[in-house]
């Protein structure tokens, strides 16, 4: 496995970052989780936009442009010979001192990892997941907006730990006002009387799968309403669904001991699961396209650098964009 770190493509056992990196010391950084299906990166633009929006919110300036980031992601997939993959781009604050001050970190660290990762929940897509509403609350937007996909996932991990102890496959967060927020790593939906209800996106991550699923629902003529939901709505739902890049579209059939609907994935859930599969198989940013003919001059330059790096013998020479400092924003 080759991992991209700051312009180099390194074998996993050599892919290391400094213990003084504030991503490690403080969770100071941002990341994405992206999937590639059939040689295409699904919703790549949306994921890179969200990565950059998260970075902007924490005042972190990515050392690569969006086009360069897209190129690096595709190159990691190409070098690892992956047409289907889970991809993890990370931008951390970088190397600093033991203090908090980000001004002491002059250069953000960029990492891209890609690996094979099939269906996250295995046979639970047929059976349905058990979910636990957890006592830990989703961190409020006025403290740390859940829309920032930051390297600090401790809030989510605490929820997951609680769900694990209580026998759940996934946790359901409420926000500090008692409204349904999201799962530990996915967005939530209730189906009631043929209508899909889902929380607004202030108290949760604005999921890209959520956006796709809502588009699909609209195209199938299933009514969708974005609204506040409480635990009454969860327990009394006909169907409950969770979605995320890793989880994809998954049914929740049991919450805190209450059987949801008839305890089996419902018709709306199954329709969305099938349609999502079709969309992911067709759409996406081609990994193996001819980048030399790319319209953007940045993409062309990045492609040329990657091509030059490929011919270099030593992995240390396989630098993209960052080594020369050129091509930075």
326 is catalytic: no
Q: Indicate whether 207 belongs to the interface with ligand PLP (CB under 6 A).
A: yes
Q: Indicate whether 33 belongs to the interface with ligand PLP (CB under 6 A).
A: yes
Nearest residue (CB) to ligand PLP, 187 versus 269: 187
Runs of H (alpha helix) within 58-150: 66-79, 124-127
Q: Which of 8, 66, 149, 160 is catalytic?
A: 149
Nearest to 181 by CA among 215, 210, 152, 223: 210
Q: What's the DSSP call for residue 137? A: P
CB of 312 to ligand PLP, least distance (A): 35
Of these, 28, 186, 233, 239, which contacts ligand PLP (CB under 6 A)? 186
Number of chain positions touching ligand PLP (CB under 6 A):
15
The owner of tokens 């809030």 is: 155
State whether residue 217 is helix, strand or coil. helix
Q: Indicate whether 140 belongs to the interface with ligand PLP (CB under 6 A).
A: no
Of these, 133, 150, 156, 203, which contacts ligand PLP (CB under 6 A)? 156
State whether residue 173 is helix, strand or coil. strand
Q: Which stretch binds ligand PLP (CB under 6 A): 13-21, 181-189, 193-201, 261-269?
A: 181-189
Of these, 63, 94, 108, 244, which contacts ligand PLP (CB under 6 A)? 244
Burial pattern 296-311, b for ≥16 Cβ within 10 A else e, equals bebbbbbbebbeebee
Residues 6+ apart with CB under 8 A from 118: none
Of these, 36, 132, 208, 229, which contacts ligand PLP (CB under 6 A)? 208
Q: For residues 63 and 323, what is the distance between their CA atoms, to the nearest angstrom? A: 11
Binding-site ranges for ligand PLP (CB under 6 A): 33, 156, 182, 185-187, 204-205, 207-210, 243-245
């Amino acid at each position: 496995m080759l991992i991209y770190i700051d312009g180099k493509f390194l074998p996993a056992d050599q892919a290391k970052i400094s213990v003084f990196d504030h991503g490690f010391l403080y969770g100071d950084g941002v990341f994405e989780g992206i999937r590639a299906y059939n040689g295409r990166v699904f919703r790549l633009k949306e994921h890179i936009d969200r990565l950059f929006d998260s970075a902007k919110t924490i005042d972190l300036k990515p050392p690569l442009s969006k086009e360069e980031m897209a190129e690096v992601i595709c190159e990691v997939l190409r070098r690892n010979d992956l047409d289907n993959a889970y991809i993890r781009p990370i931008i951390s604050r970088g190397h600093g001192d033991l203090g908090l001050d980000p001004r002491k970190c002059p250069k953000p660290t960029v990492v891209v990892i890609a690996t094979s990762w099939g269906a996250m929940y295995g046979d639970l897509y047929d059976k349905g997941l058990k979910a636990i509403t957890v006592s830990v609350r989703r961190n409020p937007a006025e403290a740390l907006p859940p829309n920032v996909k930051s390297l600090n996932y401790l809030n989510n991990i605490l929820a997951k730990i609680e769900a694990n102890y209580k026998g759940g496959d996934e946790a359901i967060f409420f926000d500090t006002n008692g409204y349904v927020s999201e799962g530990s790593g996915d967005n939530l939906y209730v189906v009631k009387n043929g209508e899909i209800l889902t929380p607004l996106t202030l108290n949760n991550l604005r999921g890209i799968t959520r956006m796709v699923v809502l588009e699909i629902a609209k195209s199938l003529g299933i009514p969708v309403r974005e609204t506040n939901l409480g635990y009454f709505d969860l327990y009394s739902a006909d169907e409950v669904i969770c979605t995320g890049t890793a989880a994809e579209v998954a049914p929740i059939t049991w919450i805190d001991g209450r059987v949801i609907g008839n305890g089996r994935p419902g018709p709306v859930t199954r329709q969305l699961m099938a349609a999502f599969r079709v969309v992911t198989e067709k759409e996406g940013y081609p990994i193996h396209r001819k980048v030399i003919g790319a319209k953007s001059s940045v993409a062309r330059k990045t492609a040329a650098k990657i091509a030059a790096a490929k011919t270099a013998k030593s992995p240390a020479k396989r630098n993209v964009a960052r080594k020369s400092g050129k091509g930075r924003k």
